[in-house]
Amino acid sequence: MTPHSSVFCSIVPPHILERLAESDNPAYAQAAQRTLLMDVTQRSAREEAPPAPEGAPSDKPQRTIYDAEHGTELPGVRVHEESDRPSKDATVNRAHAGLGATFDLFFKAFGHRSIDGAGMPLIASVHFDEKYDNAFWNGEQMVFGDGDGELFLDFTIPVDVIGHELAHGFTQHSANLAYFGQSGALNESVSDVFGSLVKQHALGQTADQADWLIGAGLLGPAIDNGVALRSMKEPGTAYDDDELGKDPQPATMDDYVRTSSDNGGVHINSGIPNHAFYLLATELGGFAWERAGKIWYDVMTGGTLTEEARFNEFARATVASARRLFGEGDEVQSVLKAWSLVGVPTT
């Protein structure tokens, strides 16, 4: 399977940045406009991206951190390698730790070496651009902005943001889901699922202990009513703020959003499969990566999904995977129940 040639996936959805770009506060509007422009530039720059580097299969991560020094040339100046002592720069240390936490989840929970399964070196650039309100995976590496300090803080703060973006690399090298419509929403959802699992795994949390938020700790002091970018537990409730607007994510197919923006609503409708995973994981209990996560991992690496998979195709694949991994037990019934509750058919 050949990964898509154009890969640019960012954590902050366009609908948030587009709203902020029209803010009455000139500083907020300028930061959002600059971020949107840079995202377009980076997306275009990756259309001819070369294949990502491959490494030798290893039980340990190979991490390298670069400092973009508030410029836009990537990767920047190399400032930290795998064997180095902790940096005096907290952002560098958080990036290093987040790459490691993601490697640990995939290897320790699923036996998957790095995000490609073959030991791919993990590369990240920090301090990208001035007041850049985003983080992204560009098909080769992670890139983190520092945020503007008012709307968004440093993007290395939430480990699930790091896990989310690296999981786009996992999808790129496994099921390779097309980034449009329902397959794109699945692409985004898979990143939220594994991003959340990275956080839960790092903290040793069971499904009922987890907050199931994506990006908690990222929103800055200018946001009065918001806890994160998304909620898997209650899609549509992560924020309702004068600056950010109202979280538009649906939890079920009854509220599915049909739109031509954001590649067909990939960051919006991902709330539906996100909620299905949450329902499954909490129904099964225990550590979410042990059963629910293994089902999702098996679907992504099993080679049965089409690149344009819709929600019902993915749902059917999870039922088949649960049956294959666990037999006719609670897992299969819980998978069927989760998809039924969000209105996605499995037949």
Looking at the annotation, which residues are catalytic?
Answer: 165, 267
Q: Which amino acid is at 81?
A: E
Q: Is 83 exposed, middle or buried (0-12, 13-18, 19+ CB in 10 A)?
A: exposed
Tell me, rounded to whole angstroms, the distance of Cα 30 from its chain centroid.
26
Asked whether the beta carbons of 202 and 104 are under 8 A apart, the reply is: yes
Pseudo-torsion of CA 198, 200, 202, 203, nearest 10°?
160
Cα separation, 73 vs 45, in Å, equals 11
User: Which residues, 6+ apart, have CB-to-CB distance to 188 below 8 Å?
Assistant: 9, 266, 267, 270
Look at residues 220, 218, 238 and name the one whose alpha carbon lies nearest to residue 230: 238
Reported residue count of the chain is: 347
